[in-house]
């Protein structure tokens, strides 16, 4: 499946001039992806992870292939497991190619249980049988496992990638790009924003109000998710990649929230934490449930990330790709230890609360409000970063500067 420029957001028209090849993405090529992301590959043992509500019967003899649903897991089988076995491993001088299943976490970046099952239905242990015995681990799952696998990679010394929510658009665009190019563009934007003292975001609501969120960054070095996991240093790439991000040191103000059921609320932030939600439109019960969660476990409202997309990509309908689109930004609540932050799973009242949940602001995702402006302050320098969901002249100049 190819992806033409008609799928690209209109506001990226100017950015396409930087990369005219993005008018037509290449087809997905597993060898190219692995060779680019994981150089060197020679001698590496690789495996594929998927998740199920009930892993043992579903993975046994690949029963899930004969069942309705399981679109993510079937893509993992077809495009990754089979691709590895049908020549990619040989071409890249790798071995393994095994597929394993673990129990679905039902939360973004929650720690994984140790039990895992192979295709014979045999129960194994992640810590004993998988992490020490594979050099490259590809996790193609329903919920993101970036945080727990990053911690395990550092402990056991493997490299890998998390690719949760993979769909056909992601395969034909976000996973088909040249990640050397992605890395170069991310680095240009990172340099344009690194060591920022603060970021201010103005949100224009349909009722005429403008909410402003201020995030203190304390001059920290900006980080980038750029898709390259080269060398032999233990690391996890989150794919599709292409963002610059910070771990907020402080935050205050207000920002809007669109809940999964479409309810709209205003979130009040003090001392880096969301303290309450107030209804704009929709279901009051949704707002009440969020407020009850904040009251019961205040750590769930802590802001752990501020990110900015750096890629020219089509909207996929999955946040894992759509948050990487140039002109969008996102906040995240919850754990941020995998980003170098100080919010650890042990700080939450319940294990199931220790998620890392992205809140994406993009025209297709949040049409009820506009990011009218994002401003960066760095010493005496003040720059506009985004205006009306478009990358600013400052950002566009940074992309073309060298």
DSSP string, 199-215: EEEEEEETTS-EEEEEE
Integer Cα distance of 289 and 274 in angstroms: 14
pLDDT of 58 above 90: yes
pLDDT of 44 over the 80 cut = yes
Gyration radius of the chain over CA positions: 21
pLDDT, tens only, 309-350 = 999 998 899 999 999 999 999 999 999 999 999 999 999 999
At residue 96, the pLDDT reads: 98
Q: What is the mean pLDDT of residues 277-292?
A: 98
- Mean pLDDT in residue range 56-61: 98
Distance, CA of 201 to CA of 192 (rounded, Å): 17
pLDDT in tens, 213-261: 999 999 999 999 999 999 889 999 999 999 999 999 999 999 999 999 9
Residue whose C-alpha is closest to residue 111's, from 344, 349, 364, 361: 344
Question: Full-prediction pTM beyond 0.85?
Answer: yes
Q: Which pLDDT score, from 0 to 100, does residue 400 have? A: 87
Average pLDDT (138-167) is 97
Comparing 9-23, 143-157, 351-365, 368-382, which segment has the lowest mean pLDDT? 9-23
Q: Name the band, by pLDDT with cuts 50, 70 and 90, for residue 1.
A: very low
Q: How confident is the model over 310-321, as pLDDT tens digits?
A: 999 988 999 999
Band the pLDDT of 12: cuts 50, 70, 90.
Answer: low
Residue range 13-20: mean pLDDT, rounded: 62
Could you tell me which residue, 73 or 1, shows the higher pLDDT? 73
Residue 6 has pLDDT above 50, yes or no: no
Lowest-pLDDT range of 14-28, 57-71, 254-268, 278-292: 14-28
CA dihedral (284, 287, 289, 291) positive or negative: negative
Kindly list the structural domains of the chain, giving each domain's residue range(s) and its CATH number in brackets, ordered by start: 26-172 (3.40.50), 179-400 (no CATH)
Percent of the chain with pLDDT over 90: 91
Phi-psi region of 384 (alpha: psi -120 to 50; beta: other; left: phi over 0): beta
Average pLDDT along the chain: 94
Which residues face 330 on adjacent strands? 307, 360
* pLDDT at residue 36 is higher than 80: yes
Upper half-sphere CA count for residue 253 (Cβ side, 13 Å): 16
* Confidence check: pLDDT of 20 > 60: no
φ and ψ at residue 377, rounded to 5 degrees: -120, 130
Residue 305 pLDDT greater than 60, yes or no: yes
% of the chain at pLDDT higher than 70: 94
Confidence of residue 15 (pLDDT cuts 50, 70, 90): low
Is the pLDDT at 21 greater than 60? The verdict is: no
pLDDT, tens only, 170-196: 999 999 999 999 999 999 999 999 999
The pLDDT of residue 3: 36
Six-digit token pair at 387? 């205006």
């Amino acid at each position: 499946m190819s992806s033409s420029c008609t799928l690209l957001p209109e506001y990226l028209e100017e950015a396409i001039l930087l990369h005219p090849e993005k008018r037509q993405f290449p087809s997905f090529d597993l060898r190219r992806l692995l060779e680019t992301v994981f150089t060197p590959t020679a001698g590496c043992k690789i495996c594929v992870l998927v998740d199920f509500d009930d892993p043992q019967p579903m993975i046994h003899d690949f029963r899930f292939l004969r069942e309705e649903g399981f679109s993510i897991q079937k893509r993992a089988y077809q495009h990754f497991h089979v691709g590895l076995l049908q020549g990619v491993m040989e071409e890249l001088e790798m071995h393994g190619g095994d597929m394993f299943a673990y129990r679905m976490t039902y939360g973004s970046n929650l720690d994984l249980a140790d039990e895992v099952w192979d295709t014979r239905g045999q129960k194994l242990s992640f810590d004993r049988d998988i992490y020490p015995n594979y050099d490259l681990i590809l996790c193609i799952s329903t919920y993101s496992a970036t945080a727990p696998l990053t911690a395990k990679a550092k402990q056991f010394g493997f490299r890998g990638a998390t690719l949760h929510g993979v769909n056909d658009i992601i395969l034909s665009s976000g996973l088909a790009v040249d990640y050397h190019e992605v890395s170069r563009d991310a680095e240009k934007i990172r340099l344009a924003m690194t060591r920022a003292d603060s970021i201010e975001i103005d949100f224009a609501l349909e009722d005429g109000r403008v909410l402003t969120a201020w995030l203190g960054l304390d001059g920290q070095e900006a980080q980038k998710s750029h898709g390259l996991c080269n060398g032999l240093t233990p690391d996890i790439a989150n794919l599709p990649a292409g963002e610059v991000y910070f771990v907020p040191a402080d935050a205050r103000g207000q920002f809007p929230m669109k809940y999964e059921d479409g309810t709209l609320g205003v979130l009040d932030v003090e001392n880096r934490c969301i303290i309450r939600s107030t209804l704009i439109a929709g279901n009051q019960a949704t707002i009440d449930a969020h407020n009850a969660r904040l009251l019961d476990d205040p750590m769930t409202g802590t802001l752990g990330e501020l990110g900015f997309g750096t890629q020219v990509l089509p909207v996929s309908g999955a946040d894992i790709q759509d948050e990487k689109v140039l002109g969008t930004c996102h906040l995240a609540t919850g754990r941020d230890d995998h980003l170098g932050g100080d919010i650890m799973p042990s700080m939450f009242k319940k294990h199931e609360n220790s998620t890392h949940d992205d809140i994406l602001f993009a025209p297709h995702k949040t049409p009820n409000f506009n990011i009218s402006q994002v401003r960066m302050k760095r010493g005496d320098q003040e720059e506009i970063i985004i205006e009306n969901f478009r990358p600013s002249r400052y950002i566009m100049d940074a992309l073309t500067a060298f």
